Amino acid sequence: MPPSAQSLRLRIRLVAGLFIGLFLVVAGRAGYLQVVLAEDLQARAEQQQQRVVKLSAQRGTIYDRNGEELALSLELKSLYADPGQIENPTALAAALAPLVEMSEKDLQRKLSEKKNFVWVARLLPPEQAKKIAALKRAGLNFVREHKRYYPRGQIGAQVVGFTGLDPRGLEGLELFYDADLQGAPGLLISARDARGRGMATAEQSVRGGEAGASLYLTIDRTLQYIAEKYLAQQVKSSQAVGGTVVMLDPKSGRVLAMASVPNYNPNAIERYQPTDWRNRAVTDAFEPGSTFKAFVVAAALEEGLVNEKTRIDCERGRFDVGGKVIRDHGKKHGLLSVSDIVKFSSNIGAAKLGKRLEREKLYQYIRAFGFGAQTDIDLPGESAGILRPADRWFEIDLANISFGQGIGVTSLQLATAMAAIANNGQLMKPYVVEKIVDGQGSVFSQAHPQVVRQVISEKTARRVRRMLTQVTEAGGTGTGAAIQGYRVAGKTGTAQKADLVTGGYSIDKRTASFIGMVPAEDPAIVVLVTIDEPQDVTYGGLVAAPAFSKIAEESLRYLDVAPTLSLARQALPVEKVSSAIKRGRVAATRDQAAGENQRMPNFQGMSYREVLQQMQRTGLNVRLSGSGQVVEQSPRAGEKITYGTEVWVRLGA
């Protein structure tokens, strides 16, 4: 029976509804794919159609405080190959091997791999890249990458550090600030076919990539050079195994120079041992010896237990404590004032001052000066030193720590603590990065001087500085640190090194040191010099103090810190005058300078050193400012003057 018209219409509607439903499903799916999943599918398609290789990022530049480049990224060419486009790998390997310093066998194997991308040689020197490009062989391509370069070589190397090929920071500031210095890497993009092979006609492009942030340091390249030069000379002349120098601005905590020997050149890092990379000024702890007496004296003065004239019985050089014997070196003293305990560096006197403070109080001051804790400087690998709790000290420990034995400090800790005395009792946090600037030139991090705490009063700090000046004057242990025209406050140190085999102290191994501030009245710099295991002569006053004198004198000239003393009136120890004359630093003594009714010399065009020599001969009271050669003077050349006349001299470029 044929279907009725109504039944037919129903079937048509059902079929139509089915088709409409299917259409809606297909349209919905298409819309979902094209709208919701569009971005993801497009990315997947690009991955299938493109070859993507991550390139090395461009790291930010590291500058010294004057904008001199200490580390930068050079743009060089890297060579890669597409083996699928190479017709004769053997012939190409023979031609290419001498230019990339690889064996033909290794290169042929690399060029024959079933890959569409292989690195052949990265970061090629320009001349080498030029020779390779001249081959004009299919399948070889270049891309630009960045290589870390250190234009000053070893200057500041242990502070700046170095990177790997990645390039990731591996030491120094390169490691500590790696996240800031590391830029965003670029991507090498090229098309490939359905089988994943590179297409010979495809264009390649580099996308993305952003330069990292740059660091501006507190380190001064010139001061760093001065520190490294004289430290290396002293280590060599004393046949020592190493040494350190730390130079601080005591008012701000800025590190102006930080040097270690052995040193290394980060441009040729493969030539050096890992032990050479270490920044000993922050990583290595040593017993400070007599330099530590300055802080014990400061604590005793602050507590009102003594004054400069308080007399202490130094027992004629031998003192029994806790079943052990403490001895003074050199002349054996009886009663000594506190000032003379510092001047002559009496171990017994310092031990008795420590006893007056007792364990807990001395421990509190040691901690307050920053010992036994990290300074939190922005450098990696900082040691906290060695300081046992006071409740674990025996009587002999109290005595030993009072003159710098039985405690471990870093060079940075010692310099920072002495800077507190230079800065009227305020301990400043040391730092090496002044500011961080992003790739667009905007400053996003700016360091500021930070007071950690007031350790001692301003009055006590001044009193300690006055006592420390006697160390570098006639009869003191640090006369080798004296500088013509400036009053130097400082302290010598000579400490036995621990013998790891016997567990006691070494018979012949010493750490010699000198730490000082200059000018003593208002210190512009604090400088610490340590010499590790000097041979023959081992005393800090004879080994480290002369290096301090050279470093500080040249640094003061560079910083335009004018002399605070009349050289004609400055009394130098006999031994210092003798050595100074031999070095050509002075031409005569005060007695030779006497004379009346002289004529004003003509200083025009003279150097700093020539002016100093002339001042000694004439007995003038000269005030110097600037650097370079003399461009102005008063009184004028040829005018009548008398001994001690005040003369003003300005130096310029």
**Angle of the 126-133 helix axis to the 89-100 helix axis, nearest 10:** 160
Could you tell me the sign of the dihedral formed by the alpha carbons of 24, 26, 31, 36, in that order? positive
Q: Does 567 score more than 70 pLDDT?
A: no
Q: What share of residues in the chain are helix, strand, coil (percent, to 5)?
A: 40, 25, 35
Across 562-639, the runs of DSSP E, i.e. the strands, are 598-599, 621-626, 629-634
The Cα 79–Cα 59 span in angstroms is 21
Q: Tell me, what's the pLDDT at 615?
A: 63
| Within a domain: 46 | no
Weakest mean pLDDT among 2-11, 111-120, 390-399: 2-11
Cβ neighbours of residue 567 under 8 Å, at least 6 residues apart? 484, 485, 586, 612, 615, 616, 622
The Cα 121–Cα 402 span in angstroms is 60
Q: How many residues does the chain have?
A: 653
Q: Tell me, what's the pLDDT at 571?
A: 41
Q: Tell me, what's the pLDDT at 561?
A: 92
Please name which of 547, 563, 641 lies closest in space to residue 609, comparing C-alpha atoms.
563
Pick the last residue of a domain from 191, 217, 243.
Answer: 217
CATH code of the domain containing 618: 3.30.10.20
Is 169 strand, coil or helix? strand
Active-site residues: which are they? 290
**CB neighbourhood size of 91 (10 A):** 13
| Banded pLDDT at 205 (limits 50, 70, 90) | low
| Within a domain: 25 | yes
Could you tell me the sign of the dihedral formed by the alpha carbons of 303, 305, 307, 313, in that order? negative
DSSP-assigned beta bridge partners for residue 431 = 254
Helix (H), strand (E) at residue 247:
strand 242-248
Please name which of 465, 467, 466, 469 lies closest in space to residue 478, comparing C-alpha atoms.
469
- For the residues 111-120, what does the mean pLDDT come to? 83
Work out how many domains the chain is built from and give that number. 4
Instruction: Identify whether the C-beta of residue 260 lies closer than 8 Å to the C-beta of residue 272.
Output: no
Q: pLDDT by residue (tens digit) across 461-520?
A: 999 999 999 999 988 999 999 998 999 999 999 998 887 677 778 888 999 999 999 999
| Banded pLDDT at 109 (limits 50, 70, 90) | confident
Phi, psi of 171, deg, nearest 5: -150, 165
| Banded pLDDT at 49 (limits 50, 70, 90) | very low
| Banded pLDDT at 586 (limits 50, 70, 90) | very low
Q: Tell me, what's the pLDDT at 30?
A: 72
Q: Tell me, what's the pLDDT at 589?
A: 33
Check whether residue 519 and residue 439 sit in a common domain: yes
Check whether residue 161 and residue 250 sit in a common domain: no
Q: Tell me, what's the pLDDT at 578?
A: 37
| Within a domain: 47 | no
- For the residues 266-288, what does the mean pLDDT come to? 94
Q: Does 613 score more than 90 pLDDT?
A: no
- For the residues 356-373, what does the mean pLDDT come to? 97
Check whether residue 31 and residue 138 sit in a common domain: no
Helix (H), strand (E) at residue 123:
strand 118-124
**Angle of the 104-111 helix axis to the 89-100 helix axis, nearest 10:** 130
Q: Please give the DSSP secondary-structure letter assigned to residue 473.
A: S
CATH code of the domain containing 210: 3.90.1310.10
Q: Tell me, what's the pLDDT at 541?
A: 92
| Banded pLDDT at 170 (limits 50, 70, 90) | very high
Q: Does 160 score more than 70 pLDDT?
A: yes
Q: pLDDT by residue (tens digit) across 548-560?
A: 999 999 999 999 9
Q: Tell me, what's the pLDDT at 583?
A: 39
Amino acid sitting at position 449: P
| Banded pLDDT at 76 (limits 50, 70, 90) | confident
| Within a domain: 144 | yes
Instruction: Identify whether the C-beta of residue 346 lies closer than 8 Å to the C-beta of residue 317.
Output: no
Instruction: Identify whether the C-beta of residue 546 lies closer than 8 Å to the C-beta of residue 527.
Output: no
Q: Please give the DSSP secondary-structure letter assigned to residue 192.
A: B
Instruction: Identify whether the C-beta of residue 168 lies closer than 8 Å to the C-beta of residue 194.
Output: no
Amino acid sitting at position 620: L
Q: Please give the DSSP secondary-structure letter assigned to residue 36.
A: I
**CB neighbourhood size of 330 (10 A):** 11
Check whether residue 57 and residue 97 sit in a common domain: yes
| Within a domain: 43 | no
**Angle of the 411-422 helix axis to the 293-302 helix axis, nearest 10:** 40
pTM metric for this prediction: 0.76
- What tokens does 242 get? 């190493």
**Integer angstrom CA distances of residue 228 from 234, 243, 261:** 10, 10, 8
Check whether residue 72 and residue 25 sit in a common domain: no
Check whether residue 86 and residue 1 sit in a common domain: no
Q: pLDDT by residue (tens digit) across 284-312?
A: 999 999 999 999 999 999 999 999 999 99
Instruction: Identify whether the C-beta of residue 185 lies closer than 8 Å to the C-beta of residue 55.
Output: yes
The Cα 59–Cα 379 span in angstroms is 18
Q: Tell me, what's the pLDDT at 580?
A: 38
Q: Tell me, what's the pLDDT at 596?
A: 45
Average pLDDT, the chain: 84
Q: Tell me, what's the pLDDT at 594?
A: 36
Q: Does 99 score more than 70 pLDDT?
A: yes
**CB neighbourhood size of 130 (10 A):** 12
Host domain of residue 602: 590-652
Check whether residue 145 and residue 235 sit in a common domain: no
Would you call 384 exposed, middle or buried from its count of C-beta atoms within 10 A (0-12, 13-18, 19+)? middle
Residues of the chain with pLDDT > 70, as a percent, come to 81
The Cα 448–Cα 487 span in angstroms is 29
Sort residue 571 into left (φ over 0), alpha (ψ -120 to 50) or beta: beta
Check whether residue 374 and residue 461 sit in a common domain: yes
Q: Does 640 score more than 70 pLDDT?
A: yes
Q: pLDDT by residue (tens digit) across 421-447?
A: 999 999 999 999 999 999 888 999 999
Pick the last residue of a domain from 550, 565, 580.
Answer: 565
CATH code of the domain containing 304: 3.40.710.10
Higher-pLDDT residue of 353, 35: 353
- For the residues 146-164, what does the mean pLDDT come to? 92
Phi, psi of 329, deg, nearest 5: -95, 155
Q: Tell me, what's the pLDDT at 599?
A: 76
Q: pLDDT by residue (tens digit) across 617-639?
A: 555 666 666 566 787 777 778 77
| Within a domain: 510 | yes
Please name which of 405, 399, 367 lies closest in space to residue 384, comparing C-alpha atoms.
367
**Integer angstrom CA distances of residue 368 from 295, 427, 428, 470:** 10, 9, 12, 25
Pick the last residue of a domain from 161, 196, 217.
Answer: 217
| Within a domain: 584 | no
Check whether residue 511 and residue 629 sit in a common domain: no
Check whether residue 532 and residue 621 sit in a common domain: no
Check whether residue 450 and residue 513 sit in a common domain: yes
Three-state DSSP string of 511-579: EEEEEEEECCCCCCEEEEEEEECCCCCCCHHHHHHHHHHHHHHHHHHHCCCCCCCCCCCCCCCHHHHHH
Q: Tell me, what's the pLDDT at 43?
A: 56
Check whether residue 150 and residue 23 sit in a common domain: no
Residues of the chain with pLDDT > 90, as a percent, come to 54
| Within a domain: 175 | no
Q: Does 212 score more than 80 pLDDT?
A: yes
